[in-house]
Amino acid sequence: GPIYKDRYPPEFQRFQPMCNDADVANQCTLEQLYNSYDNTILYLDHVLGGILGTLDRSGAPYVFIYVSDHGESLMDEGRMFHGMPPGMTLPPEQAQVPLIIKSSVPITVVERAEYPQQDVYDTVLDLFSIRTPLFDTSGSFLRKGMDPAVKPRA
C-alpha cells in the first residue's frame, strides 16, 4: 500500500496519530489511515495554493485546471486504495475526483451534475481554440467557444 507519510514534509503532519508502515492494511488503525491520508490532502492544498498565489501575483492572464487522476478507497465497504480488477466498475470514492478551475480571465463553466475526466481534454482544446477531429465540442465544459447548437454532455 501507499506510504502516505512519504507524500508530505514533516510540517504537514497535523493530523495525528499517523500510519508509518508500508503494510497499511494490516499494521495501521483506521484513525491512523485517515489521518495520514488527510495530511496528504493538507499538503496538496498548500501546493495548489502556492501555485495559484504565484499565478495571481504574476499579473499574467491564466486559466488553472486541476483534476486528480483517481480517488482513494479508505476501507469503504472493505476496499483499500485505488483500482479494481478488469470488468469491475470503479466505486464512487475512486471515480469521483476533485476538479478545480480558476481563471484570471472571464470564462463561464457549464453547470453539470458531473464533469468526466475525458472532458478536461476537450475543455483545454476549447480554451485555446484548438480545432482537431479529436475535439468533441460537446465535451467542453466552458461556454467560451461553444456552438450554441451543441448540447453539452449531461
Which sequence spans correspond to the domains of the chain?
106-146
Mean pLDDT of 44-66: 96
Confidence of residue 118 (pLDDT cuts 50, 70, 90): confident
**C-alpha distances in Å from residue 24, one per residue of 75, 109, 119:** 11, 39, 34
- 121: Cβ–Cβ under 8 A, 6 or more apart, which residues? 139
Residue given cell 508502515 in the structure block? 21
**pLDDT at site 7:** 87
Q: Judging by DSSP bridges, how do beta strands 79-81 and 73-76 pair with one another? A: antiparallel
Residue 105 grid cell: 480571465
Contact between residue 108 and residue 142 where contact means Cβ atoms under 8 Å apart:
yes
Q: How confident is the model at residue 145 (pLDDT cuts 50, 70, 90)?
A: very low
Give the CB-side neighbour count of residue 125, counting CA atoms within 13 A: 17
Q: Which residue has the cell 465544459?
A: 141
Higher per-residue pLDDT: 107 or 56: 56
Answer with the residue of higher pLDDT: 135 or 91: 135
Locate cell 463561464: which residue?
108
* pTM assigned to the model: 0.74
- The mean pLDDT of 25-36, rounded to a whole number, is 83
The more confident residue out of 80 and 27 is 27
